[in-house]
Amino acid sequence: MLEASANSGASPQTGIHQLIAADGTSVADGELDPFVADVDDAQLVRLYSDMVAIRRIDVEATALQRQGQLALWPPMLGQEASQVGSLRALGGDDFIFPTYRENGVAYLRGADLAGIMSTWRGSANTGWDPYKFNMATPQIIIGSQTLHATGYAMGLVLDGKETLSIAYLGDGATSQGDVHESMVFAASFQAPVIFFCQNNHWAISEPVGLQAHVPIAGRAPGYGIPSLRVDGNDVLAVLAATRWAAARARSGGGPSFIEAVTYRMGAHTTADDPTRYRGVTELEEWGAKDPIARVKALLQGRGKLDDDAEAAVARRADAVAAELREGTINLPDPAPLSVFDNVYTTEHAILDRQRDHYERYLAGFAPTDGTTLEGSRS
Amino acid sequence: MLEASANSGASPQTGIHQLIAADGTSVADGELDPFVADVDDAQLVRLYSDMVAIRRIDVEATALQRQGQLALWPPMLGQEASQVGSLRALGGDDFIFPTYRENGVAYLRGADLAGIMSTWRGSANTGWDPYKFNMATPQIIIGSQTLHATGYAMGLVLDGKETLSIAYLGDGATSQGDVHESMVFAASFQAPVIFFCQNNHWAISEPVGLQAHVPIAGRAPGYGIPSLRVDGNDVLAVLAATRWAAARARSGGGPSFIEAVTYRMGAHTTADDPTRYRGVTELEEWGAKDPIARVKALLQGRGKLDDDAEAAVARRADAVAAELREGTINLPDPAPLSVFDNVYTTEHAILDRQRDHYERYLAGFAPTDGTTLEGSRS
Amino acid sequence: MSRLTLTQAINAGLRKAMEDDPKVVLMGEDIGTLGGVFRVTDGLMKDFGSHRVIDTPLAESAIIGTAVGLAYRGFRPVCEIQFDGFIYPGFDQIVSQVAKLHMRTHGQVRMPLTIRVPFGGGIGSPEHHSESPEAYFVHTSGLRVISASNPQDAYTLLRQAIACDDPVMFFEPKRRYHAKGEVDLDADLTRAPAMGASRVVHAGTDVTLVTYGPLVATALDAAKAAADDGISLEVVDLRSLSPLDYGPIEESVRRTGRVVITHEASETLGLGAEVAAGITERCFNYLEAAPVRVTGFDIPYPPSKLEKHHLPDLDRMLDGVDRALGRPNSLSGLEG
Amino acid sequence: MSRLTLTQAINAGLRKAMEDDPKVVLMGEDIGTLGGVFRVTDGLMKDFGSHRVIDTPLAESAIIGTAVGLAYRGFRPVCEIQFDGFIYPGFDQIVSQVAKLHMRTHGQVRMPLTIRVPFGGGIGSPEHHSESPEAYFVHTSGLRVISASNPQDAYTLLRQAIACDDPVMFFEPKRRYHAKGEVDLDADLTRAPAMGASRVVHAGTDVTLVTYGPLVATALDAAKAAADDGISLEVVDLRSLSPLDYGPIEESVRRTGRVVITHEASETLGLGAEVAAGITERCFNYLEAAPVRVTGFDIPYPPSKLEKHHLPDLDRMLDGVDRALGRPNSLSGLEG
Ligand SMILES: Cc1ncc(C[n+]2csc(CCOP(=O)(O)OP(=O)(O)O)c2C)c(N)n1
Ligand SMILES: Cc1ncc(C[n+]2csc(CCOP(=O)(O)OP(=O)(O)O)c2C)c(N)n1
Ligand SMILES: [Mg+2]
Ligand SMILES: [Mg+2]
């Protein structure tokens, strides 16, 4: 019988670095502790606030999808610590290459919420300027962005910069040839790139055991790339691990690989129905390891999350939700002739002719509502 | 400065399993010895004879290329132990997926020498029936065949067979995405496939250090695939390692990876000029580790290679050379209309029309030498 | 006769092929437990087991490449590529291996793969989910390329594709997945129209409208609309994109003298170029006007709010018909 | 003026581009120490350093994909693909990333990659070393596609390609690599013919013969041979395969009324299909005969002892010319 050997070893809970346990108690980790020695309670509150804010983005976007305002939404529910912890370890000059799921990262990086949503509404392919936020736009072709991050990091070496690039990727992505080739190039050229893999246990309906027979973090050393396996629901551990990798990159140490072991609590996207392929036990089990609840417990245990602080966190989340909703609903539809925009940087005899023909064709329908047909070329 | 970190660590001479040292003395290896406990001197003489025979193929083919009888030839000089040792560990039902360089393997498998040469003469794309010899034809797209071998092995599981498949690959090939994906699939489906990598230190002009920062055999464990690193110039060690992998495959143990550390003593192909990129020191160093010389020394040391035995080995090599030359020179040119053969298994409206037109066109030139235009369709 | 959606018809075709031949195996991402993101393989893993309905790791080159190995071993793999835009990582294996192995081995190794690709736009999806990559494969010698436009054809053509000893790219018009039609599940394959045959799906006399896959339904609507306008369109469903079957088109164009070709793929070297060139070669003396192409533009697929401006619709088809007839149309007054 | 081979001209073009712009970097397999398997990059690593002439690991998807990352960072990578048949593992990165990123990012990210591909047959090589994959890229919106036929054009077009902010596929006719020609190394790029411009390389009046890359030389020979026969051929070198420049062809066909298109790639959806369709659209009323295609057959590239039966040569071109002229030819007496 040919059956994937769904080796649960692909994701054992052993050997995973952790700084905050699921119940909110602190855990000592000799390797990681030094990287977050400076993180005081105030900073922990900010990380908490970040997580609450991006969870709210998720809730709001999911609702907007149900209301028909978005065509699709890929929830990040459960992965807030991985997104927040990794992003907050980076400097503003570090360049990010995300997948489609790092919408929380994009928000924290400063991208406009409506811009982020424009992709999921279908009004634009992507919604922010990569150079303004040092963050590439969402990548849908699985694994592709890891090569871009590696090439960018090769460019950093050529330019003599001390910044880095980071590629986000999923557990499923680790099966793609491109991810392998990225590691080969990154190792050969000692490129300052961080491979940040969110092992959320699922690639749509496929469990991580189908992609990886043994823990994913075990792959990188085979290329000479050091790796760390951390609790991806532990924002401090993720922050520390990413700082470890960033420090290596900045000091000429080359590439690093991080496996953040987390869990996709929601559907793959709003188009997916996970009840078809996974049980509730697993969900309950992971629900008890919620990344936000544990920080809250930790802070409350220390008496560092009073009502005022909670209220401020809630206000921020409310503001985010309002801005998101408002911005999304008011996103203008793109102008018809903008389909021809930006295919090329300059003129193109064939496409320009098609545009002219289509403009003439549309003119035959004589719009009466005052809208413009023009794309940016006009 | 962006320079590949040519980490010599990519091929350290440490940690390499060996049973016959370069000077022909026996070496004990607790792990490998059991796999060749049955190999007596008579068998060793046969392995020696195999190596001498395929070296002669190489010499003869290289000469034929210089004489314009072959368009190209990829020498295997220096890699005889890797080819002979691996092939001789296999059963006749085990299916082989070679690269373009395993021409010695093909000969030992029984393929007709002229057939083997037809590819390199340009008179046929390939020259043997894969099903007759359980060996696929040469693969030129680097890495591609590792997926075919994996799929074949998946098929063996489906068919409930206890045979295996083996994919040959080079050190350069390990950088290709396909090789990675093969290991992912092989591990997931526990396919009985052997990845047999001949690290001959070069991929055309690129040293292995550019492809692999640390030893190649270190990659496989990251997929949960056990690997061995052996002296690829040691026919016994290669035989033992391949038997180890074969035993694993046959007993449901799944895939294995072998890195045979050897050296491409010749040019990449007859079209290549290695003096442009590598020095003589390296060549001399490896010349001293010749795979054939060491077996000869071992046998002579034991008094097991008398003049009669040597004469028999030489006679076989001479016969091979004569058959190869004779067969190659007499290979017929393919018939013009055979360009249309075997593109499809049955009729094809468009191609059949092109064939008819071309037949009519050629007929206009009215050949007078009695040759036929027909391909197999006639 | 059963009334089935296109997905149900394909599902039934897969089921029948698996029942008929134990060497048929399905491979792909999420095709097992989930039944595929479009539910095309729904229930098949349950009924045939995970050894014949194989959820693969996430790697398209490997899906095709291991299928090649399985074919070597005598299997008939049916690979699902989840969406059109994800076929490209498997392109090398398709072009350099699947298409060439039979010729490379002098006919000794057969490659009876079927590669199923949900293709085309119009479903409001993000980038890479609405591509029409068929031309790449039509240009690749050694492959056969099919596109079904309705449930009956889908059922029959898929069975023929799987039974065919050549590799077949099977393009499924995903935006018609829910369209229903009558399907004769017990029909004898040997009496069905040949896999390579195109078909006139609407008879007419003024202009020949050639299309395939998702736009066949639109073309039939256009024929109705044109009829109201007194123009009689003959609609040809190509069904086989490679090889092209010029028979019915030729016969039609010799009567109409005018031909419009429409598809979602970009114009330049889209299938319309081949049909236009091929029909001109075959019917030059019968043509009253240059063949007209009504296609997607030469742009990457746009965001979904713009897709209606990229995809040929009924109005654009009729505008093309006007052009073929020399009637007032969007290009009137322009040279060329 | 210097007398250079095609490889020397490309080498000079690379050198000039690297001197002019420090952001130009070369990447590829064996391009550094070895200078490339065709010696096109000979000496460049020595002169510019291994940080600008990068020997990469053996992985085409990564060569293109890391070049995308370098372009993100403001570099202008020039990637060498060792042989035509090895471009396919990089196809996904080219089609889904290189071609689309500028549009995807609303023009914010530019992809000024140049991808050099030695292409075509006729050099007696084994499989995968003689492919003509240009049509795949011509069909891909977002790319520009160039093929130079002589040293001067190679030098100029390559510099233009590298300077272009759009991605350019640069197809080098490898069997003409040793052909020599005069090259003006100091010519002002701003005064050179546009990168997108095709050119009449031999004036004539009876039939227009359109081609590019390796077959331009053959077409010029055919023009000479035809002249002996009293037939005057006008030969057009396309130079730009995408976008096509119809200007000179149109002008020519309006005079000759007859056109033959010839290339090594397979016929079905080869570039000839687009030229035939496009020219018919533009010149229908001037055409005296259907455009004729003289191309490689719809087969995988054959073993080298058979390649002369696949590749269009002078005789097959002239047979095509006869067909265009309605003179006795290989298809006379056949219908269609
Ligand atoms: C090349 C490619 N193949 C298939 C898909 C379809 N697809 C989209 S997301 C996905 C699963 C990805 O899983 P993982 O990498 O674990 O990321 P996650 O969605 O869990 O964040 C698949 C198969 C794709 N987008 N690209
Ligand atoms: C996909 C692909 N890219 C490039 C090449 C060109 N090429 C042929 S052999 C070779 C080097 C292969 O090196 P390795 O895998 O070490 O095998 P070896 O030749 O040393 O046996 C290269 C780059 C190819 N054949 N296929
Ligand atoms: Mg996942
Ligand atoms: Mg090698």
Is the four-CA dihedral B146, B151, B152, B158 of positive or negative sign? positive
Asked if A340 is an interface residue toward chain C (Cβ–Cβ < 8 A), one would say yes
Q: Based on the fold, state whether residues A241 and A170 are members of the same structural domain.
A: yes
Touching chains, A (3+ CB pairs < 8 A):
B, C, D
On whether residue B11 sits in a domain, the answer given is: no
Element at C97 (helix H, strand E): none
- Residue B42 shares a structural domain with residue B154: yes
- Given A288, A304, A329, the domain boundary residue is A329
**pLDDT at position D44 over 50:** yes
Query: Per-residue pLDDT tens for C202-246?
Result: 999 999 999 999 999 999 999 999 999 999 999 999 999 999 999
Residues 6 or more apart whose Cβ sits within 8 Å of residue C279: C246, C249, C250, C253, C259, C287, C291
Contact indicator for D201, D220 with CB cutoff of 8 Å = yes
User: Residue D332's pLDDT band (boundaries 50, 70, 90)?
Assistant: confident
Assess whether A303 and A373 both reside in one domain. no
Within 13 A of A145's CA, how many CA atoms are on the CB side? 27
Interface of C with D in 123-142 (CB under 8 A): 127-128, 135-136, 138-139, 141-142
Q: Is the pLDDT of residue D336 over 80?
A: no
Residues of D in contact with B182 (CB under 8 A): none
pLDDT in tens, D105-137: 999 999 999 999 999 999 999 999 999 999 999
Contact C267 A122 (CB under 8 A): no
B65 and B212 inside one domain = yes
pLDDT of residue A374: 62
Average pLDDT score over residue span A180-184: 98
Answer yes or no: do B199 and B339 share one domain.
Answer: no
Burial of B38 (0-12, 13-18, 19+ CB in 10 A): exposed
Q: What is the pLDDT of residue B370?
A: 54
Neighbours of A373 (CB within 10 A): 16
CA of C318 from ligand 1 middle (Å) equals: 40
CB contact under 8 A, C242 and B147: no
- The answer to whether D328 contacts chain C (CB < 8 Å) is no
* Closest listed residue to residue D148, CA positions, set D113, D186, D108, D119: D119
pLDDT digits (tens, 9 = 90+) for D259-311: 999 999 999 999 999 999 999 999 999 999 999 999 999 999 999 999 999 99
A185–D93 C-beta distance less than 8 A: no
Taking residues A33-44, what's their average pLDDT?
A: 98
Q: A170 CB less than 6 Å from ligand 1?
A: yes
Q: Which helix (H) or strand (E) holds A222?
A: none
Residue A360 structural domain:
335-378
A291 plus A377 within the same structural domain: no
Residue B189: closest C-alpha in chain A: A4
**Start-end of H helices in B271-375:** 280-287, 291-301, 307-329, 349-363
Tell me how far apart the alpha carbons of residues C138 and C169 are, in angstroms, rounded to a whole number: 9
- Ligand 2 centroid – CA B153 distance (Å): 24
Give the pLDDT confidence score for residue B11 in this predicted structure. 43
Residues A370 and A251 in one domain: no
Residue with tokens 């081995």: C105
pLDDT exceeds 60 at position B267: yes
Residues B371 and B290 occupy one common structural domain: no
Question: Which phi and psi angles does B55 have, rounded to 5°?
Answer: -65, -35
pLDDT beneath 70: ranges in chain C? 334-336
Q: Of B148, D311, B154, which Cα lies nearest the Cα of C96?
A: B148
Tokens of C65: 């490449």
Q: Are B37 and B31 in contact (CB under 8 A)?
A: no
CA-CA distance, B138 to B26, in Å (whole number)?
34
Tell me, what amino acid is at C336?
G
User: What is the mean predicted confidence (pLDDT) over D39-44?
Assistant: 98
Q: Does A322 share its domain with A339? A: no
Q: CA–CA separation, D88 vs A218, rounded Å?
A: 30
pLDDT, one tens digit per residue, over D316-331 is 999 999 999 999 999 8
Asked, as a colleague might, if the bond just before A207 is cis with ω within 30 of 0, I would say no
Helix (H, G, I), strand (E, B) or coil at B2: coil
- Please indicate whether residue D37, judged by its CB atom, sits closer than 6 Å to ligand 2: no
> Does position D196 have pLDDT exceeding 80, yes or no?
yes
Grade residue B9 by pLDDT with cuts at 50, 70 and 90: very low
Distance from CA of D257 to the nearest CA of B (A): 24
Ligand 2 neighbour B173 (Cβ under 6 A): yes
Q: Which residues of D touch C283 (CB under 8 A)?
A: 336
Cβ D141–C104 below 8 Å, yes or no? no
Over residues A106-112, the mean pLDDT reads 98
Answer whether B344 touches D (CB < 8 Å): no
Ligand lying closest to the C-alpha of residue C125: 1
- Quick one: pLDDT at residue A13? 46
Inter-residue contact C9 to C152 (CB < 8 Å) = yes
- C-alpha B65 to ligand 2 mean position (Å): 20
Sheet architecture: strand order including D240-242: D53-55, D24-28, D76-80, D114-119, D168-173, D144-147, D240-242
| Chain B hits for A213, Cβ within 8 Å | 187-188, 223-225
| Complex ipTM | 0.97
Q: Which pLDDT band holds residue B4 (cuts at 50, 70, 90)? A: low
**Which residue owns the Cα nearest ligand 1 atom 4?**
C86
Find the farthest-apart pair of alpha carbons in chain B and give their distance in angstroms, rounded: 72
**Average pLDDT for A262-279:** 97
Going A131 to A135 to A140 to A143, the CA torsion angle's sign is: positive
Q: What are phi and psi of C215, to 5 degrees?
A: -90, 0
D10 vs C: CB within 8 A: no
Choosing from A86, A102, A142 the residue with most ligand 1 atoms within 8 A of its CB, the one to mutate for a pocket test is A142
Give the model confidence (pLDDT) of C182-208 as tens digits: 999 998 998 999 999 999 999 999 999
* Residues of C carrying an active site annotation: 129
- Closest in B180, B210, B218 to A180, CB measured: B180
- Tell me if D96 and C103 make a contact (CB, 8 A cut-off): no
pLDDT over 90 (residue D177): yes
State the first-to-last Cα distance of chain B, in angstroms, to the nearest integer: 62
Q: How many CB pairs under 8 A join B and C?
A: 144
Which residue of chain A comes nearest to D165, CA vs CA? Answer: A345
List the single residue in D with minimal CA-CA distance to C271.
D269
- Give the other-Cβ count within 10 Å of D203's Cβ: 11
| B199-220 confidence digits (pLDDT tens) | 999 999 999 999 998 999 999 9
Decide: B17 in ligand 2 pocket, CB within 6 A. no
Find the mean pLDDT for residues D29-45: 98
Closest C-alpha to ligand 2, atom 12? B203
Chain B CB contacts of C64 under 8 Å are 147
Q: Is the pLDDT of residue B12 over 70?
A: no
Indicate if B190 and B274 belong to the same structural domain: yes
Q: Does residue C243 have a cis peptide bond before it, meaning omega lies within 30 degrees of 0?
A: yes
CB contact under 8 A, B222 and A224: no
pLDDT digits over D212-250, tens only?
Answer: 999 999 999 999 999 999 999 999 999 999 999 999 999
Domains in chain D: ranges and CATH? 2-191 (3.40.50.970), 199-325 (3.40.50.920)
Nearest C-alpha in A relative to D107:
A342
Spatial CB neighbours of A143, under 8 Å, sequence gap ≥ 6 = A169, A173, A176, A177, A178, A179, A182
Q: Write out chain B residues lying below 8 Å of C51, CB-based.
A: 157-158
Residue A243 lies in a domain: yes
User: Does residue B184 lie within any of the structural domains?
Assistant: yes
- Asked if residue A373 is part of any domain, the answer here is yes
Question: Is the Cβ–Cβ distance between A61 and A324 less than 8 Å?
Answer: yes
Could you give the CA distance from residue D172 to residue D6 in angstroms, rounded to a whole number? Answer: 9
* Of A289, A305, A329, the domain-final residue: A329
Residue A17, in any domain of the structure: no
Cβ neighbourhood burial of A198 (10 Å; 0-12, 13-18, 19+): buried
Average predicted confidence (pLDDT) for chain D? 97
Q: Which residues lie across from D169 on neighbouring strands?
A: D115, D145
- In B, which residues are within 8 Å of D317 by CB distance? none
- Domain-located, residue B7: no
Q: Using one digit for the tens of pLDDT, what is the confidence trace for C57-68? A: 999 999 999 999
Report the CATH number at residue B179. 3.40.50.970
Tens digit of each residue's pLDDT (9 = 90 or more) over A203-249:
999 999 999 989 999 999 999 999 999 999 999 999 999 999 999 99
Q: Is B207 in the pocket of ligand 2 (CB under 6 A)?
A: no
**Distance, CA B101 to ligand 4 centroid (Å)?**
10
- Is residue A180 domain-shared with residue A235, that is, in the same domain? yes
Residue A351 lies in a domain: yes
Q: Who's near C138: CB < 8 A, 6+ residues apart?
A: C145, C241, C242, C271, C274, D268, D269
- How distant is the alpha carbon of residue B34 from its chain centre? 26
Among A232-246, A361-375, B229-243, name the one with the lowest average pLDDT: A361-375
- Inter-chain touch A349–D245, beta carbons under 8 Å: yes
**Which residues, in sequence order, are bridge partners of residue D180?**
D5
Q: Is the pLDDT of residue A305 over 50?
A: yes
Three-state DSSP state, A227: strand
Indicate whether A371 pLDDT > 80. no
- Report how many domains make up chain B: 2
Does residue A138 share a domain with residue A103?
yes
What's residue B43's pLDDT? 97
Report the pLDDT averaged over residues A109-113: 97
Are D207 and D230 contacting, i.e. CB atoms less than 8 angstroms apart?
A: no
| Domain annotation covers residue B62 | yes
User: Is A142 within 8 Å of chain B by CB?
Assistant: no
Percent of chain D scoring above 70 in pLDDT: 99
* Nearest-by-CA chain A residue for B210: A188
Amino acid at D55: D
